[in-house]
Structure 1
């Protein structure tokens, strides 16, 4: 399965954002359980982050991202890209 990356930038204050982090983590755990090999994290300087995951195609990747609580609650602006791995 291809890899995808959701690159995000926070657009709400930290206290609002932090309300949805536990649900986001639970969502990522559910993706892992479904075989999407998801990983999530934030930039060291804060204010944004990314999620790596596998999906069958871009349409499935978009559907996966649309269900992320950070997206559903308007916490981040984001871009989705297919990540073409050159060396493993």
Structure 2
């Protein structure tokens, strides 16, 4: 499995009520051993998580199931991360 950095950035119209669903989504991914680290940014502009997936397309498919993406209130971007 490869690592992918998923950036989740709030848009002006974001709905804070989506945050608990997003946290449950991350908990489910942790239970599947898919998320290595996650957390919000200090300035409250969004957050990020490290996702394990077989390839970029799978990583995008998983990240686009995130309630933040589904709600349309966040920009969700996936990067292949070649960390050492």
Determine if the TM-score, normalized by the shorter chain, exceeds 0.5.
yes
- Give me the whole-angstrom Cα distance separating, in 2, the residues matched to 1:22 and 1:41: 13
Shift of 1:33: 1.2
Ranges of 4+ aligned residues in structure 1 off by more than 2 Å: 37-40
Shift of 1:41: 1.4
RMSD, aligned α-carbons: 1.5
Q: Is the 8 A contact 1:4 1:55 kept in 2?
A: yes
Where is the strand percentage greater, Structure 1 or Structure 2?
2
Could you tell me which residue of structure 2 aligns to residue 8 of structure 1?
8
Q: Give the gaps of 5 or more residues in structure 2.
A: none
Q: Give the gaps of 5 or more residues in structure 1.
A: none
Q: TM-score, normalised by structure 1?
A: 0.85
Q: How many residues align?
A: 84
